[in-house]
Structure 1
Amino acid sequence: MPDIKKYKITEPYLDLQCGLGEAPFWEKDRNTLRFVDIVKQKLHFVNLTEGPSSHKQRDLNFNIGTTADIEGNDKEFVFGGKLGYGIMNRETGESRWIQKMWTDEERKPDGGGKPGKGETREVRMRSNDGSVDVKGRYFVGAMNDPAVVDAPTDEGVLFRLDPDGSIHRMKDSVSIPNGMSWTLDNKFMYFTDSPTGKIMKYPYDVETGTPSWDKGETFFTCPIEGGVPDGHAQDEEGFFWVALFGTGKVVRVNTEGEVVAEIECPTRCVSCPGFAGTELFITSAEEESPGDYPWSTKYQGGLFKIDVGVRGCPLNRYKYEPKA
């Protein structure tokens, strides 16, 4: 086993008390970090040159789980939201849906489906994590919305939005879709269904945008009891920084799936890391068991930062080229 390098964070970069902070994304040209609070329906920005005092937030009337930049469009970004894929103006907050996830049939009352709650499937679902492949396709996973459903079922779906604006169902029977990325040579895709405790690795056809789901192998299993892999970020060496929700740890994992570094955070429910240069920003959520872990509540929902000495792998942009 490799030696494990240890890091420790003692206080947040921003003490925001997010309900569910997620999706830290570095807007490199502006040196701004944007991220979301899914539960409290907020969009956050902080200029990293100016520091924490530059923090701004925007109240939304729906939740967003994931965002990505758009090739050739500096004014807007694409997102996975409550109902599907949309585009938002980063300056004004104006948004429009470009592709809803659910069919007309799934917008009809169905008696609550598998959870027995939520009038329609559309009502009881929301977007969660997402990532863009090298060809500019935007993968976003949908799951049961905790605001509607007490505990997630396997009603979740992994979707893919292509540059032409078409939407495709890539994987059904998902519970909490998280952590999507590709090997540096784009021959394999990584995908996390958090309750399984694993990150899976699948052969990937980059020309068609199709993983071979039947040929998946376990890449990484959470080594800490009670924790699950949540979001992850890839560095330029092809290693992964994985948030282990429920443990207060973010671990660096090599290409063989071995832990080689560990970041200790001052709250348990760490949700997603994201790079800005060599600095790793980590979002977190409200403590789920405050009675059992009172130490975790002080900085719950905070945004954390640490320099890890390696740069993040450049993120792909969604290539929006809708059909005329």
Structure 2
Amino acid sequence: MINVTVQNFEAEVIAASMQTPVLVDFWAPWCGPCKSLGPVLEQLETEYAGRFKLVKIDSDQEQQLAAAFGIRSIPTCILLKNGQPVDGFAGALPAGQVRQFLDKHVPSEGALVAEAEVSEAEALIESGDTQAALAKLADALAQDPANDDARADYVRLLIATGAYEEAAATLQEPLAREPRPLRFDALRRWLDAMQFVEKDERGNWPLEQFDAKIADNKRDFDTRFAKAQVLMAEGNWAPAMDELLDIILRDKTWNDEMARKTYVAILELLTPPPPKTAAADGKSAGGIELTGKAAMQEDPQAALLSSYRRKLSMALN
């Protein structure tokens, strides 16, 4: 528990809430209900063992902060995450009700363990130890099956290492959701391309063989799409999108818009993940710093994505 004033509010509440939920208890020394709620909150902070941070603000001494939060009575508790108030309650609630309130917003123990496992996996990937990274990500999912970041990282690494059946099994749950999450749909389409190369005889064709068939019939969309899948499997993303764009320009609705959906999937696969905390430094949802044309030109992948998004927009309009 920390006593907060105007002087340390930014560091102890706003900045801290970027990493851990912060529960702000507005109280006053003369308030009887405040004196009964305070020990309950302090006990729960100990019980939750770092899953949230408790701070106290004396509403008499810090009237500016109380006014900023619109405090009308005390005790009042406000929960902040990522620098923003997300929920609150008024009055001296019993421990059970406060616990129910916290459990709606505070990460579970399993979720915290999973986050640590994901961080360790990222370091292992950087060092080139993919098998250890896979084990860490599998542990993270076991601890917190709702951790979509861990699931996406795990599937991506499974595909990259050729564990296609395990990747398909791990994708089943998110692909059954409505609406289907774009990042998992993108991973499924990348997996489809890898399995196409493995199972379809055209997966072994040289590109010249595809080109010869397409030259005979420029509307041979099945061959064009097969070529795009081969290019995807090889990591030749821009040529794959070029082939898909050719289909879109000729027939936007071919095969239930398969070309457009796969094109969008490639854009998603190439887009950097968002920052883990709320961006306060001018970053886009894709994690690209919004610092003007010069910065964009210095990032070849960002420039590629921007270019191919424009091409798709023009083709569809």
The TM-score, its normalising length taken from structure 2, stands at: 0.24
Instruction: Report 1 or 2 for greater relative contact order, CA contacts < 8 Å, sequence distance ≥ 6.
Output: 1
Which structure has the highest helix share of the two?
A: 2
Instruction: Please say which structure displays the higher CA radius of gyration.
Output: 2
The TM-score with structure 1 as length reference comes to 0.23
